[in-house]
Structure 1
Amino acid sequence: MKGEEAIKKAYESILNHDFEQAIVWFERAIATNPECAAYHYKLSITYARSGKLDKAAAHASQAVRLDPEDEHYTFHLQHLQARQMTLQAEKLFEESDERLWLAVSLLQQAVKLDPLSQEAFLLLGVAYSRLREFAPAVQAIQELLKLDPQHSIGLRLLADYRQKWKEYMSVTL
């Protein structure tokens, strides 16, 4: 079977909401032509939609390696890497507050890779707030609200963090 035939079968599977079968077909396409960046990219998207971020990132990375000039592949890889960092940071919230600085670092990297990640900006604001760093908390939430001015949680947190910042500043002065 040729690669393009496998790709057609993969898309048929996607239309039938059978993502696991789509993955099988994309993998078959790659087996016929492992140097085809587009096949790796398409498989990466399907893995990402299936919640398999590590495999998605591996194939996105392969697509970029095979065709570094294609901006779509690069942006997709950066989005996946940012998503992985955001998930790592989120896990750190359950640990000690000292680990929140690591979460902040991961989230800062995530928003550099994917400046449209609302979740990363939200979590960055929350992490800064928990660390009693209210100025950067406000700044992170403001960035979130630039992306989604009606973000209900962001609007509430912005008001809360501004109030806490005022209280903090009045105590320290």
Structure 2
Amino acid sequence: MPSIGLFIALVFGLADIAERRRVAPWVSAAIADVVLLVLATLTNAQIHRWSDSFTLFEHALAVTPPNAAIERSLGYALQRSGRLDEAAAHFEKALQLTPDDHMSLLYMGVCRFYQGRVPEAMEYAQAAIRLQPDAAKAHDLLGMSLAMQNRNEAALDEMRRAVKLAPDDAEIRNDLGAALVRLGRIPEAIDQFHEALRLNSNHAPAHANLGAVLLASGKAQESIPEFEAALRLDPKSKAAADGLRQAQAQLSPQR
């Protein structure tokens, strides 16, 4: 499941952090722009990667009887490329064929989350959990959906459950960090971002997330290596370049 915590943390958390840490408002606004660019960059980078999958799955659907697994796989490829409405249509077909398919429920929930249909995302996450109570990704999705509804403590409980079920999942660690940001528990959030990077040092969103939180906390100097790491992982990332530039701009009067 794609990471969704970075968006949550920045849109809903950084203004509060800036206020508590007495960071200039322009810093929070700038970092929010950076994070949105991170998400856009990641989506664009995946479009070419998934293009061959579209052809493969569409051909398979054309020459075989109705098949839930193929519908789900095509939906997943479409979702990863940002074509959410088309993805949802295929997940719906998969669920018509196999209503109790855990993965189709989960993917549909993620799709609804990205579409801003959060109550529906929660329903799909809960349905997936009923079928598979130890599904870490479903608990993660439910937690992020609760966070979107400002049910922060309940969100944190779900995400801690997800981490307990999958302690070595860098994406879930990253999302838990985002939930902690919303609650203003910045040191704990930073610990989770560090843990995500320990598990996967090539996790560019975690580098960007950590850099953004450090920058919003008034630690521009510490944020720079994180944005630089993101650039090393993706040299064409405008998002990482913008984050680095914002950090350097904040430091420039001190030089």
Partner Cα separation in structure 2 for residue 84 and residue 17 of structure 1: 20
Question: How many residues matched?
Answer: 122
1:141 corresponds to which letter in structure 2? I
Structure 1 runs (4+) greater than 6 angstroms displaced: none
CA spacing shift, 1:21–1:154, aligned 2, 3 Å: same
1:66 corresponds to which letter in structure 2? L
1:124 matched residue in structure 2? 183
- Worse-matched range after superposition: 49-58 or 145-154: 145-154
Structure 2: runs of 5+ lacking an equivalent: 1-65, 161-174, 194-209, 220-255
TM-score under structure 2 length normalisation:
0.41
Query: How far 1:27 moved relative to its partner?
Result: 0.5
Query: How far 1:120 moved relative to its partner?
Result: 4.0
1:133 matched residue in structure 2? none
CA contact (8 A) 1:111 1:121 kept: yes
**1:5-64 deviations in Å (ceiling 9; x for gaps):** 322332343355321011011001001111111110111122222222211111111111
- Worse-matched range after superposition: 38-47 or 4-13: 4-13
Partner Cα separation in structure 2 for residue 58 and residue 154 of structure 1: 35
CA contact (8 A) 1:144 1:154 kept: no
1:112 corresponds to which letter in structure 2? D
CA contact (8 A) 2:139 2:159 kept: no
- 1:73 corresponds to 2:138: yes
2:113 matched residue in structure 1? 48
RMSD across aligned positions (CA): 2.7
- 1:154 corresponds to 2:217: yes
1:110 matched residue in structure 2? 155
Partner Cα separation in structure 2 for residue 121 and residue 66 of structure 1: 28
Task: Give the number of the structure with larger relative contact order, counting CA–CA contacts within 8 Å between residues 6 or more apart.
Answer: 2
**1:67-123 deviations in Å (ceiling 9; x for gaps):** 223333333323332x234xx3xxxxxxxxxxxxxxxxx433433333544454344
Query: How far 1:152 moved relative to its partner?
Result: 1.5
Structure 1: runs of 5+ lacking an equivalent: 89-105, 126-139, 157-173
* Larger Cα-atom Rg: 1
- 1:84 corresponds to 2:143: no
Partner Cα separation in structure 2 for residue 59 and residue 20 of structure 1: 16
1:26 corresponds to which letter in structure 2? F
Partner Cα separation in structure 2 for residue 143 and residue 60 of structure 1: 26
- Worse-matched range after superposition: 109-118 or 66-75: 109-118
TM-score under structure 1 length normalisation:
0.57
1:63 matched residue in structure 2? 128
**1:97-155 deviations in Å (ceiling 9; x for gaps):** xxxxxxxxx43343333354445434433xxxxxxxxxxxxxx2332343437622224
CA contact (8 A) 1:145 1:154 kept: no
CA contact (8 A) 1:26 1:42 kept: yes
- Worse-matched range after superposition: 37-46 or 21-30: 37-46
